[in-house]
Amino acid sequence: MNASPRHLASGASPLADIRVESSDTPFAPGSLLRGSFAVAESESSQVRSAELSVVWYTAGKGEEDFGVQYFERFSTEGPDAVDLSRRREFRTLLPDFPLSYDGAIVKVCWCARLRLFLKRGRQHVIEAGFRLGEVSPAKALEQESASDN
């Protein structure tokens, strides 16, 4: 039996990549989100630690809102050191809200985010976006008025 290929949302850079499985359709509220990340083997010696999170945020006019659904920190130093070049999987149950939304004034966005803390004090962030729920995008008022005529 052949498994169908999984669609992935991914964010990649020369330093690392992060993936979200089955991202070709919106996730239902309460469903399981699965993904993975890895730091490039050639760059892993430059990374002190990493933070993996699943977050939502608003973008657009007004103040930004932000929420964290999942968070895990990894260190390459000390007694709990891990090899970040080895692909690491994560999973979390998604909440019922807020749902993804593409409004004319504000958007609600979801992503899996990998933040790398480098040895020279710099940070590098990579995101893989996905959608939670199936809210229709907002229509522009001009389009709606034109269709009423």
- 51 and 114 in contact (C-beta within 8 Å)? yes
More reliable by pLDDT, 13 or 141: 13
pLDDT at 134 over 60: yes
pTM: 0.85
pLDDT at 145 over 50: no
> Smallest Cα–Cα separation from 10: which of 30, 31, 27, 24?
24
Within 10 angstroms of residue 27's Cβ, the number of other Cβ atoms is 20
pLDDT of residue 86: 97
105-131 pLDDT, tens digit per residue, is: 999 999 999 999 999 899 999 999 999
pLDDT at 6 over 80: no
d(CA 67, CA 55): 6
Q: What are the chain's domains? A: 8-148 (2.60.40.640)
φ, ψ of residue 42 in degrees (nearest 5): -70, -20
